[in-house]
Structure 1
Amino acid sequence: MKGDMNIPPLLPTAPNGARSGVVGGELLKLLQPLDGLISPGQSAKAEVLSLKQDDQAFQLLLKLTLAGGRQTNVQANSNFPLPLGTQLAVTQPSAGNLAISVQQALSSSVATLTRLDTQQLPLGTLLQGKVLTTQVLPQPAGQPAVYRSLVTLLNTALSGSTLALDSPQPLRLGSLLTAQVQGAQSLNFVPLSGRQDQLAIAQQLVTQQSRQGSLEGLLNALQNLPSSTRMPAELRASIDSLLAGLPTPAQLGTPKGLSDALLNSGAFLEAKLLGGQPQALAPDMKATLLRLIAHILPGVPANTSLNPGAAASAQAQAMPTFVRNALGMLGQVSAKPQPTGFPLPTRTPHNGEGEDSLQSLLKLAAAAISRLQSHQLSSLEQSGRTPDGGLLTTWQLEIPMRNAHDIVPLQVKFQREDPPEKDPEDKRESREVKDPLWRVELAFDLTPLGPLHVQAQLLRGNLSGQLWARHAYTAELIASQLVHLRQRLKDAGLSVTDLDCHQGTPPQGGHSPLEQRWVDETA
């Protein structure tokens, strides 16, 4: 099913807290007749514990509180659905029936929701629920059918509440539903395939962490191979091509050099293949690593642990079971998993006993490809809707650069945050169109400066940046040069609003000082 779903307004409430639309004295038929359950002339309090639709009838599980405080559970059929938590007062006219004498009290804890508070649930928030009932509503002749459903919410602060929805197609009973808040009384259905993709990305990231390895591990091993090592000419040419293609800091300092390095980082290999650009594959890092593996494999003894095809086959067989189990738990998952940390930590795969040089190179090359895939998956995981309904797009990648005799991996993350679209229910005059906010993060370890981390944000030509250096002497050195960096940024046409250097590492979780400043400035 696709399209929008609406939250219908309920009928006005009747006096004494009763809800109109339900006729007083309506009978509930007991599934097991119980004679004398409630004494003649007496009434008992009842609460709806569960609701299930069966054809056109509804099965209710009621908790009765009888005279003297004794409680018992009974099952009954009803011609109309009662939301979970509904409070009733019932009498028993006959052994097989209960009669509703007082309808549901419309307290906030049990009333069916008639609208969403977009302050509590901003536009773009994902709601998850389970479909309890679906009924077709009577419509004038010639009008399209409308189906009304009761859905129990499974996440957010409204977990446990009942939501009434009108949709152009019936919702399957008992199914899990995911929808995005579009307005106070409008939801947009999110297809299940999107949820499966998100689950698959999260699962892949978990497994990638144990397989990936730092790029410098492979590149240093290739650079330090003895010239006397015997290997096929194609493999030697592939190694030479890989090492010769590494950019230098001077090349990355030019717009074209930086653009080429980003495009050839391996993050866009699949996009190039889909776009039919085979000529652009030659300098691509991921494509070069795949060619390197293809040249190494013929010289390596058969080993399933090093066979990418066998690993992919095993993963494909396990994935359906994982997805089924994970989808069954959607109702118990209320928060999106935290994205993989940036930057990715240094990691070198362990060499097995008895491995020759080609086996070791194959393991390092496979780990390097997994490293690039981890960046790609992290990009997907960190892209989506912001809490206020904006669109966040992330590109995370890694560029190995040659600095004299060292190979220094430069980890880069770009994020573009587009403001949310105007609320269709907002009748006010159109306001000024907001510009996208850009965020950039860099992380690298440059001898002798040590680990460095840079964060910057750009909005309408205004730049704010923070730098972190692990070593105290590096932080002092950078702080002494910030006035020159600020001037160079101004010469490039940027207005620098904030630029500081700190010792240590950026705070993990919550808002960094840079983000907090931007929140204050753009409030």
Structure 2
Amino acid sequence: MTGEMNILPLPQATATTPRAPAVSGELLKLLTPMEGLISAGQTAKAEVLSLKQADQAFQLLLKLTLESGRQTTLQAISNQPLAQGSSIAVTQPSAGNLAVTVQQAIAASVATLTRIDTAKMPVGTLLQGKVLTSQVLPTVPGQATVFRSMVSLLNTALSGSTLSIDSSQPLRIGTLLSAQVEDGQTLKFVPLSSRQEQLAVTQQLLSQQSRQGSLDSLLKQLQNLPASTQTSSELRTAVDRLLAGLPDIQQLSSAKGLAQALASSGAFLESKLLGGQNLAPDIKGDLLKLIGQLSSGLPASTQLSAIIAANTLAQAMPSFVRNALGMLGQVSAKPSPTGFPLPERLLQSADGEDDLEHLLRLAAAAVSRLQSHQLSSLEQSGVTPDGRLMSTWQLEIPMRNLQDIVPLQVKFQREEAPEREQPKERQEERAPKQQLWRIELAFDMEPLGPLQVQAQLIQGSLSSQLWAERAYTASLIESNLAALRQRMLAAGLNVGDLDCHLGKPPQGPQTRLEQRWVDENA
């Protein structure tokens, strides 16, 4: 699919550019013929309730209002698309047809949007829509083929409106697409990888968070799993595989070890599945295998099937991502980003619940926690109102600290400055995109206690703020900041602000370390 789509120009009485085949005495064919529906010499008002393309024809659902005031709904077939919500006046020349005048057909086509009001929808606004129709226009010698589509808009103040667009590639009917406003007549297509912030994940994210539980609760239980008749050799193997894959602090201190831990965190399981890559090691994959072993070891009468089904969404995450796009119309605005870090949440053993049942609940809750991080990443990725492309990766790594297991929560956020239009002769000289990286860490390690780190990196310049909830830890870090700065300088970084604070980072959009993009006009 090409990068640009053009909004149709306003229709004119005398067309000066090639357009769709003209409507002349358009007949709507009724799917169910109705004799005497409209009396001879009379007209009725018809409102288009829905539009659906079937091959080269268009199926309409009409609400017909007769002169007597009686209303009825009926289905009809048209050779031309009539926008949902448009009103037309029709007569009935025969039992199986309704007639639409040329003027009325043109008026119905005007019901579709023909331009974007950039005063209400500024340049850079991200529009979302669902493709209702797709037609190839008559070819003009020497010009490329043009495809015309009608798109039902699903967000912003234009939600519910229909937009007519031209593109050099056909848009598949039923496809959900996102496009960025370039000007009043042009939209720039935004591919799936950069429009994930618009996924309707809020409802799923809330349900995941209500089911999630801290990873260390499960892992500590597995470390102390007693031998019993319920623990099969397969279950023991699944437990050993999961625990053996946990990194320690020494591994995370090297670039290679950290990269391996990030790749094995479970955040990329679905992309591995789609790419046919080797899944081992992977925390989320190992958790799903553990759930399978735990569920097979429980009696058939155990009422945990609902828990398993509700908490193993990862098995179908790729299809979920596609299906979630279908919910876009139910979301009117982007929700506030999920807080970071995710709070600790412990699950207590229920009455009458044996060890394996409790482990199964803990394992399912751990999967939900990993998925909460994944959904939070989707929620915070996309195109910002000023045109910057933001990508977010939020995840959690359980790391070994001697005999303890400490969950390390990590969030990477990358922002790319929008490209500026340049003459073609200067495109080869265009400087690479500027990228701003933000990194956040959160962990609770004895004897330091809870710690949070926020850092940002742009063009080799790094700034960082640290927060410690214990006064001793804050004082210890403060006394070592000079040494930390020297190590960063030795690594080739330009170090800006480097401070430590007692307490927690303030919550809200103002908490980010602010770094404005370099002004290219300065």
Short-chain TM bin:
0.5 to 0.7
Match for residue 358 of structure 2?
Answer: 360
Partner SS for 1:208 = helix
Is 1:400 aligned to 2:398, yes or no? yes
State whether residues 444 and 450 of structure 2, in contact with CA within 8 Å, keep that contact through their aligned partners in structure 1: yes
Corresponding residue of 1:221: 221
1:208 maps to a residue whose letter is: Q
Preserved CA contact (<8 Å) 2:197 2:379: no
Q: Which residue of 1 aligns with 2:492?
A: 493
Q: How does 1:234-249 map to 2 (within 5 A)?
A: 235-236=235-236, 238-239=238-239, 242-243=242-243, 245-249=245-249
CA contact (8 A) 1:33 1:97 kept: no
**CA deviation after TM superposition for structure 1 residue 126, in Å:** 2.9
- Give CA deviations for 1:7-29 in whole Å, capped at 9, x if unaligned: 35747999xxxxxx9xxxx9999
2:309 maps to 311
Offset at 1:411? 0.7
Question: Which residue is 1:259 aligned to?
Answer: 259
Instruction: State the distance in 1 between where 2:196 and 2:177 align.
Output: 8
What residue is the counterpart of 1:186 in the other structure? 187
Are positions 1:413 and 2:414 aligned together?
A: no
Residue in 2 that maps onto 1:335: 333
Counterpart of 2:126 in structure 1: which amino acid?
T
Counterpart residue type for residue 516 of structure 2: V
**Normalising by structure 2, what TM-score?**
0.67
Cα distance change on mapping 1:27 and 1:207 into 2, 3 Å = same
How many residues are aligned here? 490
**How far, CA to CA, are the matches of 2:292 and 2:26 in structure 1?**
71
Report if the CA contact (8 A) 2:8-2:165 is conserved: no
The match for 2:76 is: none
**Once the 2 structures are TM-superposed, how far is the Cα of residue 410 of structure 1 from its aligned partner?**
0.6
What is aligned with 1:127?
A: 128
Verify: 1:502 aligned to 2:501, yes or no: yes
Per mean C-alpha deviation after superposition, the further-off stretch among 251-260 and 142-151 is: 142-151
Matches within 5 A, 1:139-154: 140=140, 146=146, 153-154=153-154
Code of the aligned partner of 1:266: G
Equivalent-residue separation in structure 2 for 1:99 and 1:258 (angstroms): 68
Write out per-residue CA displacement over residues 371-408 of structure 1, whole angstroms, 9 at most, x where no aligned residue.
22332333344333344444433322212223344321
Decide whether the 8 Å contact of 2:337 with 2:380 is kept in 1. yes
- Tell me which residue corresponds to 2:454: 455
Deviation at 1:444, TM superposition (A): 0.9
| Other structure's SS at 1:399 match | strand
TM-superposition CA deviations, 1:111-131 (whole Å, max 9, x none): 955466499544472333786
Shift in Å at residue 518 of structure 1? 0.5
Q: Deviations over 1:240-297 (max 9, x none)?
A: 554455433343223333233323323344555544436x43xx43344344445544
Tell me, what secondary structure is at the counterpart of 2:480? Answer: helix
| Aligned-residue offset at 1:97 | 12
2:516 corresponding residue in structure 1: 519
Change (3 A) 1:361 1:6: closer
Q: Distance in 2 between matches of 1:333 and 1:142?
A: 43
Q: CA RMSD in A?
A: 6.0
Provide the C-alpha distance between the structure 1 equivalents of 2:303 and 2:272, rounded to a whole number of angstroms: 30
Task: Give the gaps of 5 or more residues in structure 1.
Answer: 15-20, 38-47, 62-78, 87-95, 105-109
Give 1:215 shift: 1.0
Partner of 1:165: 165
Alpha-carbon separation, structure 1, partners of 2:310 and 2:328: 26
- Structure 2 Cα separation of the partners of residues 56 and 275 of structure 1: 40
Pairs within 5 Å for 1:31-70: none
8 A contact 1:116–1:183 mirrored in 2:
no
1:426–1:178 Cα change, 3 Å: farther
Q: Secondary structure at the match of 1:518?
A: coil
- Distance, in Å, in 2 between the alignment partners of 1:85 and 1:308 is 42
Residue type of the partner of 1:344? L
Q: Which residue of 1 aligns with 2:93?
A: none
Query: In structure 1, what is the equivalent of residue 66 of structure 2?
Result: none
Call closer, same or farther: CA 1:504–1:99 in 2, change over 3 Å: same
In structure 2, relative to structure 1, the CA distance for the partners of 1:303 and 1:186 (3 Å cut) is: same
Aligned to 2:65: none
Q: Identify the residue that residue 210 of structure 1 maps to in structure 2.
A: 210
Cα shift readout 1:135-165 (whole Å, capped 9, x = no counterpart): 8766545756645566675533555777542
One-letter amino acid matched to 1:198: L
Residue range with higher mean Cα deviation, 383-392 or 350-359: 383-392
The 8 Å contact of residues 3 and 189 in structure 1, kept in 2 or not, is answered as: no
CA distance in 2, matches of 1:240, 1:390: 44
For each residue in 1:298-340, what CA deviation from the matched residue of structure 2 results, as whole angstroms up to 9, or x when unmatched? Answer: 5422256434896279989x99xx9999878744633234443
TM-superposed deviation, 1:170: 7.8
SS of 2:199 mapped into structure 1: helix
For 1:271 and 1:51, the matched residues in 2 are separated by: 37
Cα distance change, pair 469–51 in 1 and its aligned pair in 2 (3 A): same
Equivalent pair of 1:51/1:81 in contact (CA under 8 Å): no
* Distance in 2 of aligned mates of 1:241 and 1:356: 23
Whichever residue aligns with residue 349 of structure 2, its letter is: N
Return 5+ residue gaps in structure 2 as ranges: 14-18, 28-36, 63-78, 87-98
Q: Deviations 1:63-104 (Å, cap 9, x if unpaired)? A: xxxxxxxxxxxxxxxx99999999xxxxxxxxx99999xx99
Rg larger in structure:
1
Q: Percent identity?
A: 52
The 5 Å alignment of 1:19-34 reads: none
Residues of 2 paired with 1:289 and 1:56: CA distance?
Answer: 50
Q: Offset of 1:455 from its aligned partner?
A: 1.2
SS of residue matched to 2:345: coil
Q: Counterpart of 1:362 in structure 2: which amino acid? A: L
